[in-house]
Structure 1
Amino acid sequence: MSAVLEVASVGKAFRTYRSELQRVATWFGIPSRPAEEHWALRDVSFAIGRGESVALVGQNGAGKSTLLKLITGTLQPTRGRVAVAGRISAILELGLGFNAEFTGRQNVLHAAGLMGYPQEQILDAMPGIESFAEIGDYFDQPVRTYSSGMQMRVAFSVATAFRPDILIVDEALSVGDAYFQHKSFRRIREFRDQGTTLLIVSHDSSAVQAICDRAILLDAGAVLKDGAPDDVMDYYNALIAERENASVTVQKHESGREQVISGTREAVVESISLVNQRGEPVEFIDVGERVELRITVRCNADIERLVLGYMIKDRLGQPVYGTNTFYTEQSESALGSGERVHYRIAFNANLGVGSYSVSTALVSTETHLVNNYEWRELALTFTVANLSHPTFVGSAWVPPLIEVKR
Structure 2
Amino acid sequence: MSGELQVLNLGKSYRQWGGELRRMASWFFRSVTPREEHWVLRNVSFAVRPGEAVGIIGQNGAGKSTLLKLITGTVQPTEGQVHMRGRVAAILELGMGFSPDMTGRQNAFHSAGLMGYSRADIERTMPEIEAFAEIGEYFDQPTRTYSSGMQMRVAFSVATAFRPDLLIVDEALSVGDSYFQHKSFDRIRQFKEDGVSIMFVSHSPSDIRTLCDRVILLDKGRVLRDGMPDEIVDFYNALVAQKENAQSTVEQRRASNGWLTTRSGTGEARIDSLRLFDSVNGGEVAVAQVGQQLRLRLVATVHAAIPRLVLGYMIRDKQGHVVWGTNTWHTRQIQEGVQAGERVVYDMEFTCDLGPGSYSVSPALVSCDTHLSDNYEWVDNLLVFDVVNVSRDFFIGSTSLNAHFAVTREREDATQ
Check if 1:167 corresponds to 2:143.
Answer: no
- In 2, distance between residues paired with 1:236 and 1:149? 29
The answer to whether the 8 Å contact 2:104/2:141 transfers is: yes
Equivalent AA in structure 2 for residue 126 of structure 1:
M
Counterpart CA distance in 2 for 1:32 and 1:72 is 30
Superposed, which structure 2 residues align to 1:149-228 within 5 Å? 149-228=149-228
Could you list the per-position Cα deviations for residues 252-277 of structure 1 after superposition, in whole angstroms to 9, with x for gaps in the alignment? Answer: 33433332111111111111100012
Q: Which amino acid aligns with 2:300?
A: V
1:25 touches 1:31 (CA, 8 Å); kept in 2? no
Secondary structure of 2:240 counterpart: helix
Cross-structure match for 1:332: 335
d(CA) in 1 for partners of 2:299, 2:388 = 27
Amino acid at match of 1:62: A
Instruction: Tell me if the contact between 1:3 and 1:47 (Cα under 8 Å) persists in the aligned partners.
Output: no
Summarize the Cα distance change of 1:182–1:100 in structure 2 as closer, same or farther, 3 Å threshold.
same
Query: Out of 347, 351, 359, which is 2:350 matched to?
Result: 347
Candidates 276, 298, 304, aligned match of 1:274: 276
Instruction: Write the letter of the residue equivalent to 2:328.
Output: T
Structure 1 residue 249 corresponds to structure 2 residue 258: no
Corresponding residue for 2:413? none
Q: Kindly provide the amino acid, as one letter, of the partner of residue 325 in structure 2.
A: G
Alignment-derived partner of residue 371 in structure 1: 374
The Cα offsets for residues 293-343 of structure 1, whole Å up to 9 and x where unpaired, read as 101111111111111100000011110100001111111111111112111
The runs of at least 4 consecutive aligned structure 1 residues that moved more than 3 Å come to: 24-31
Give 1:265's aligned residue.
267
Query: Paired residue for 1:298?
Result: 301
Is residue 235–residue 260 contact of structure 1 (8 Å, CA) maintained in 2? yes
CA distance in 2, matches of 1:318, 1:392: 19
Partner of 1:402: 405
Q: Distance in 1 between matches of 2:43 and 2:204?
A: 26
Whole-angstrom CA distance in 1 between matches of 2:339 and 2:354: 38
Q: How far does the alpha carbon of each residue in 1:140-173 deviate from its partner, in whole angstroms, 9 at most, with x for none?
A: 1111111111111111111111111111111111
Using the alignment, how far apart are the partners of 1:31 and 1:66 within structure 2?
A: 28
Question: Deviation digits for residues 85-110 of structure 1, max 9, x if unmatched?
Answer: 11111111011221112111111112
TM-fit CA distance, 1:78 = 2.5
The residue type equivalent to 2:217 in the other structure is: L
After superposition, the Cα gap between the structure-2 partners of 1:200 and 1:28, relative to the gap in structure 1 and judged at 3 Å, is farther
Instruction: Assess, with a 3 A threshold, how the Cα gap between structure 1 residues 138 and 3 changes in structure 2: closer, same or farther.
Output: closer
Q: TM-score, normalised by structure 1?
A: 0.96
Secondary structure in 2 aligned to 1:402?
A: coil
Task: In structure 2, give the amino acid aligned to 1:115.
Answer: M
Match status 1:17 vs 2:17: yes
State the alpha-carbon separation in 2 of the partners of residues 17 and 196 from structure 1.
Answer: 43
CA distance in 1, matches of 2:29, 2:322: 53
Q: Is the 2:3–2:86 contact (alpha carbons within 8 Å) kept by the matching residues of 1?
A: no
Alignment partner, residue 81 of structure 1: 81
* Superposition map of 1:299-318 within 5 A: 299-318=302-321
Mapping for residues 49-88 of structure 1, pairs under 5 Å: 49-88=49-88
Report deviation, 1:279. 1.6
Q: Is 222-231 or 317-326 further displaced after alignment? A: 222-231
Secondary structure, counterpart of 1:182 in structure 2: helix
For residue 320 of structure 1, the aligned residue among 311, 320, 323 is 323
CA 1:27–1:187 in 2, change beyond 3 Å: closer, same or farther? Answer: farther
- Provide the C-alpha distance between the structure 2 equivalents of 1:248 and 1:220, rounded to a whole number of angstroms: 18
Alpha-carbon distance in 2 for matches of 1:369, 1:101: 45
Q: Is the 8 A contact 2:16 2:34 kept in 1?
A: yes
Per-residue Cα deviation, 1:279-304 (whole angstroms, up to 9, x for no partner): 21111111121101101111111111
Give the Å deviation of 1:82.
1.3
Shift, 1:31, TM fit: 4.8
SS of residue paired to 1:69: helix
User: Is residue 51–residue 196 contact of structure 2 (8 Å, CA) maintained in 1?
Assistant: yes
The SS at the match of 1:105 is: helix
Point out where structure 1 has 5 or more consecutive residues left out of the alignment: none
Distance 1:361 1:263 in 2: 9
Give the structure 1 partner of residue 5 of structure 2. 5
1:346, CA displacement in angstroms? 0.8
Range moving further from structure 2, 122-131 or 77-86: 77-86
2:292 pairs with 289, 293, 298, which one? 289
Larger Rg: 2
Conservation of the 8 A alpha-carbon contact between 2:3 and 2:197: no
Cα deviation for residue 80 of structure 1 reads 2.4
Match in the other structure for 1:147: 147
Match of 1:360 in 2: 363
Equivalenced residue count is 406
Instruction: Give 1:405 deviation, angstroms.
Output: 3.3
RMSD of aligned residue pairs (Cα, Å): 1.7
Distance 1:108 1:294 in 2: 58
Identity of aligned pairs, percent? 55
> Structure 2 counterpart of 1:112, which letter?
A
